[in-house]
Chain A
Amino acid sequence: MTEINLEQKEVLKAVFFILLAFISMFLVLVLFFYFSRKKIVQIEVEKKNIEIDNQKKILQNTIETQEEERKRIAQDLHDDISSKLNIVSLNTHLLRTPNLKDEELHDITQNIIELTKKALDNSRRIAHDLLPPVLEKFGLHAGIEELVFECNSSKSVAVEYLNSAKKESLESLSAGTQLHIFRILQELINNSLKHGKAKKITISLENFSNQIKLLYHDDGLGFNSNDTNVKSGIGMSNIASRVTIINGLSDIFTKPNEGFQFQLIFAYE
């Protein structure tokens, strides 16, 4: 009798433990799902915050570059145009002086003519710097050619430009996209000269399925591409913003002393 009881007790014990194990594992599962859901929501929120931060940064950069541009334009206007026009204005006042000799009159008008011509030239140059007319009139290819020509005539660097992209593909790009790409190239060249001390730069455009691939390469100093400080430079993040705006995909390959390479792929109509 006692033996049976003992056995029954053992069975009961085993059942009890099975139940206990069941309940505790169920609990673990429930808790896991409960906390996981919370955490997943939190991760989503963090992701969104990072996105917002990024957008803020881009906005900030845009404003900063805008301010810098304004400063530069203001300086150009002040140095190259206002100062000249000032002297022109002085000279015209001189014309009012009574009893001027013919010779003096001639000198003054000559001065005015020369200064206005200079002011005109300068204003054209400033306008040109702001938006190269070639780009607007003849498109990206011509714009890049002019840019390359200007760089090559400075003699400090040799720029090679190869364009194997179909003409229609380039022409189908909107004026905005063309300008973005042009600005990206300007910044890249600036960086290659300023930071990379590059001697040779290659730029190439080619078709890539139904997209266009821009390859940019310099033989300069390069930098450590893992360094986040570098990537957050205004120039580089401007490039990144422009790439986002034209819906492109870009990649940078660079290592210290192994040059700098930039690749951009974007779609055309």
Chain B
Amino acid sequence: MLNSNYLFLTSAFLCLLYFIGFFKNGKTYKIFTIYIVGVLLIDYVGSNLYRWFKIYNVFISHFFDLFQFVLLSFFYSTLLNTKNQLKILYVTFIVLLSFLSIRYLVNPNLFFEFSLLESYLTTMPIIIYATMHLYNNLGKKAPFYYANLGLLFYLFSSTFLFLLYELVALLNAKEYYLIIVNINIVLQYIKFGFFFYQLKIIYFNSNDRN
């Protein structure tokens, strides 16, 4: 099994680098930084929750889904630029959050179970926004182009991976377990690669402008 500690180190290093430019850069950059820092913390806490408190990270997975959905919705609300797309984004945001909160209010027990529906509903819109952003900037230099690609790539593949993971867990197919976890680590490294490259571009360009 690949060591996930290095992954956390890489992620922490990335967060640090992004954080250095936090106050100098615009809203989009700030939201993105908060997002990756948040993901790092949630991941870290989630993976150690059992060791620390003997709790499974079901609860944290809800938290992760919602956090990601909210932050990335904000993120794309600063990047998308046509009225219709923004309208879709805001309506989805409100409808989805209301739907989920009502769902958990009606049946709080759901909060302690994995929810395929929830993770599907919270990642699919983000994938669509990422695609919209790609589409909007066809043939020109898009802001956060590489971050967007990294997100799109990771959300795309990790959604399947997560669903597969569920299936494997249900079928008790332990031999696939490790493979999936390892693939996930690799995918995350690729994602971080995109994010590092994005940072390089941002710094390079801002030097260019001055």
Contacts and interface: CB of A to CB of B under 8 A. Distances in A.
Interface of A: 7, 10-11, 13-15, 17-18, 20-22, 24-25, 28, 31-32, 35-36, 39-40, 43
B139 A43 contact: yes
Contacts of A20: 120
Interface in B116-159: 116-117, 120, 124, 127-128, 131, 134-135, 138-139, 156, 159
Nearest to B160: A21
B163 A14 contact: yes
Given A21-B163, A24-B124, A28-B128, A14 B139 contact: no
A11 B128 CA distance: 27
A10 B138 contact: no
A13 B139 contact: no
A113 B40 CA distance: 100
A31 B138 CA distance: 14
Q: Is the interface of B mostly helix, strand, loop or mixed?
A: helix
A35 B84 CA distance: 15
B119 to A, nearest CB: 9
Contacts, number: 48
B167 interface: yes
B116 A25 contact: no
B170 A14 contact: yes
A20 B164 CA distance: 13
Given A10-B170, A24-B124, A28-B127, A18 B163 contact: yes
A253 B118 CA distance: 58
A254 B171 CA distance: 72
Nearest to B132: A32
B167 A11 contact: yes
B116 A13 contact: yes
B43 interface: no
B148 to A, nearest CB: 13
A21 B167 contact: no
8 contacts: A7-B170, A11-B170, A15-B167, A17-B116, A28-B127, A31-B131, A35-B135, A36-B135
Given A10-B170, A11-B170, A40 B134 contact: no
A22 B159 CA distance: 10
B65 interface: no
Nearest to B123: A21
Interface in B56-86: none
Contacts of A39: 135, 138
A32 B134 contact: yes
A92 B135 CA distance: 82
Nearest to B168: A14
Closest 4 CB pairs of A and B: A14-B167, A17-B116, A18-B163, A14-B166
Contact of A32 (B124, B131, B164, B170): B131
A18 B120 CA distance: 9
B125 to A, nearest CB: 10
Contacts of A10: 170
A43 B163 contact: no
A227 B167 CA distance: 62
Contacts of B171: 11
